[in-house]
Structure 1
């Protein structure tokens, strides 16, 4: 039985968000303002006590966002934040590359964190974890399937702005921080993602249900209440519009040097 609702959350402000120069920082922590954003999310999030499961990307900023944003329900229900490598950020920049399992164990030792799904190589940015668009699509689908198989009724997932477009298959406002392009060409081969803009603000959350007719794709559909909260009566984009936006994103990122084409070729593991 699929969860009734999944709340997707972008992490709070990290030090890499302060400047492009900070993209060279490995696995950066949250800024002081980012920690304040978590406290504000904790107060603004509707009915956090209803959460049965909290999942986060194993990068430090996402793990701390989860811990600091949902402290009351974590304590009340004795939950642990489950680190899920499949929802790590898209690029292979140092700021988007996670730490080794041993480092994460030291960082989060004694905290309510579950690292059993984090194995050596999860941060290699190779194979299944590579920054190619098809590899990201595959692990996003695997993560959706994993979530869809859960028995918990209400789940919070803390991840990254660029990845959230792949995860939700919604490309609206993807170019907010990248720029726009009218180029319609598309790379026929795999595309290496170096940086993706995002329409998600730090600690923004949106709520979704699973489309029961989407099969193995485990497609997410934003709830009416969630869309209305942020977009009012604006009409959702149709499938063709979403496809065109994705093409523009890939081409724009290529032109700006955020990605490069390659023939790739490695197989992606089928299961989490």
Structure 2
């Protein structure tokens, strides 16, 4: 019944909206999450075959990951006054990021696309400016007393920023990565020393397995997107302020040959912060 209600709502929105553009192809790859950036937080996201294509929404972002090695399906997105018809196509060369553009956006703003991103234009005329992401919070009641005590110790313990990156006076650092009761907890800090606020759009994690050759060169042999079970942080960091960030993952097998690549993307896409942390850093 729930599926029928969702389908009916989608059909109703499509009927009442101005005609959306013809389907545009978005290339996706198994084991890799393609990000779709909407002009406003999406009100409705539907895919023709949800059993073969996984979607996850957060603020203005939609993560798309295929669960099959081949195939395609239609995708409909309702974002503010705009609607989009996309075609998800499994490919060996996926799109890293797709930016959906509002219909009435001035041409001068169209150049504000990411290096690895592509854009799609909607057919409607009204424009809704992007909104900041809502506060994200971990359900702390679900954590055991032991986990809370250990986390409290980590959060109070100052630690040099061994692994950090700076972009335009914004510093992103990994403070702790610890296994607690079969879960991986990643604690980070974001310090904004710039003159403008930093709005966190999305934080992506990727596990990379390396193999060493006889000449001690490292070669990537496996990559896997990691999706947090829970996350907690304040998405807007004002000027000359900082925030702590916490992410919870299922247990993963880390070793000296593992690296975790973390990318913190600003909502505007201007100041991205990317960092690599070795698996040996896990406590």
Global fold match (TM > 0.5): no
In the superposition, the TM-score normalised over structure 1's length comes to 0.30
Q: Which has a greater percent of strand?
A: 2
Flag the structure with more relative contact order, 1 or 2, with Cα contacts below 8 A and sequence separation at least 6. Answer: 1
TM-score by length of 2: 0.29
Larger helix proportion of the pair? 1
Decide which structure has the larger Cα Rg and report it: 2
